Amino acid sequence: MFSLENKVAIVTGGGSGIGRAISKLFAQQGATVHIVELSHEAGAGVLQEIRESGGEVFIHVCDVSKQEQLTAIVQQMDKVDILVNNAGIAHVGNLENCHSADFERIFNVNVKGAYNALYAVVPKMKEHRSGVILNLASIAAQVGITDRFAYSMSKGAIAAMTLSVARDYIAYGIRCNSISPARVHTPFVDGFLAKNYPGQEKGMFEKLAQSQPIGRMAKPEEIAGLVLYLCSDEASFITGNDYPIDGGFIKLNN
Ligand SMILES: NC(=O)c1ccc[n+]([C@@H]2O[C@H](COP(=O)([O-])OP(=O)(O)OC[C@H]3O[C@@H](n4cnc5c(N)ncnc54)[C@H](O)[C@@H]3O)[C@@H](O)[C@H]2O)c1
């Protein structure tokens, strides 16, 4: 079960955190993994790990917010069986703290980046009349989270994009789903704590950990397990859905 033998997968932002765990697990399950990253350095660690364990992996240097860069990468590929839209960035602040430049930065990476990858990949999947897309949404798309105005906006757009693509391409054998993690301990979390709560990182980390009723943050590998299932042939009846993976955050907090 859950074999990805002979599958070609693109993982955006696969050099760190959740994307890194997904890339490693996909390679372990037999996929050829194409990681899209901002720089060679960002992908170098995972490239080495996967190759050392006998997996097949390539790094493509690309900013997902730039459509022509993504299109050029996908054009070189014969087929794409799986796309994981994972690259994403954070912003902490309410509406008044979200200046136009912040809004555009978050929008360009989190929303337009996913659109750019879909725009490049879906015609190829359509040609082969098969494909699986998995988008990284967030609990922030479903519940109001304090001080996450721009980020929540971007993840709401991901949830809606997922439904639209799932509906329009169901007849072409393409499945499209999203997942909504609560906090996952990755460099993304460490980065925004350092940037937004300097000197209070430890306390804030613990507060964020406790906001999951299960009492901790997720590990990237726990997220990768769900992604593998949804992208595998075992999930062939699943499309047009979002899967929270949240330690009870949405339904058990009161
Ligand atoms: N960590 C969490 O708590 C959490 C919770 C819910 C959802 N998510 C989502 O999961 C995804 C991955 O998060 P993470 O915590 O692993 O983050 P991370 O910061 O550890 O990794 C993100 C990766 O994306 C890459 N990236 C950023 N901008 C890019 C761009 N413009 N083009 C190409 N690559 C780019 C970075 O270089 C980095 O390697 C994001 O979409 C995030 O919103 C994270």
Task: Read off the pLDDT of residues 130-148 as tens digits, 9 standing for 90 and up.
Answer: 999 999 999 999 999 999 9
| pLDDT above 90 (res 78) | yes
Distance 90 CA to ligand 1 centre (A): 8
pLDDT level of residue 232 (50, 70, 90 thresholds): very high
Question: What mean pLDDT comes out for the span 151-159?
Answer: 98
Helix (H) or strand (E) holding 243: strand 242-245
Q: Under DSSP, is residue 66 helix (H, G, I), strand (E, B) or coil? A: coil
175 DSSP β-pair partners: 132
Ligand 1 neighbourhood includes 38 CB (under 6 angstroms): yes
What tokens appear for 63 in the block? 């900013």
CA 140 to chain centre: 14
Give the separation between CA 35 and CA 13, rounded to whole angstroms.
7
Q: How far apart are CA 78 and CA 253, in angstroms?
A: 46
Q: What is the pLDDT of residue 254?
A: 77
d(CA 166, CA 164): 6
Q: What are the structural domains of the chain?
A: 8-184+220-247 (3.40.50.720)
What is the per-residue pLDDT for 93?
A: 95
Quick one: pLDDT at residue 11? Answer: 98
Look up the pTM and report it: 0.98
Report how far residue 246's alpha carbon sits from residue 254's, in angstroms, rounded to the nearest whole number. Answer: 14
Tell me how far apart the alpha carbons of residues 186 and 209 are, in angstroms, rounded to a whole number.
12
Q: How far away, in angstroms, is 7 Cα from ligand 1 center?
A: 23
| Measured distance CA(11)–CA(112) in Å, rounded | 16
pLDDT of residue 192: 84
Pocket test residue of 10, 11, 16 for ligand 1, highest count of atoms within 8 A of CB: 16
**Which atom of ligand 1 is nearest to 183's Cα?**
3
Q: What is the mean pLDDT of the chain?
A: 97
- Cα–Cα–Cα angle for 112, 117, 120, rounded to 5 degrees: 120
The pLDDT tens digits for 9-52 are: 999 999 999 999 999 999 999 999 999 999 999 999 999 999 99
The answer to whether 55 and 29 are in contact (CB under 8 A) is no
For strands 56-61 and 82-85, give the pairing. Answer: unpaired
Alpha-carbon span 169 to 132, nearest angstrom: 11
Residue located nearest, by CA, to atom 19 of ligand 1:
188
Residue 254 tokens read as: 């009161």
Residue with tokens 């998995």: 134
Residue 65 has a CB neighbour count (10 Å cut-off) of: 20
Residue 176 φ then ψ, to 5°: -145, 120
Backbone dihedral angles phi then psi of residue 167, each to the nearest 5 degrees: -70, -50
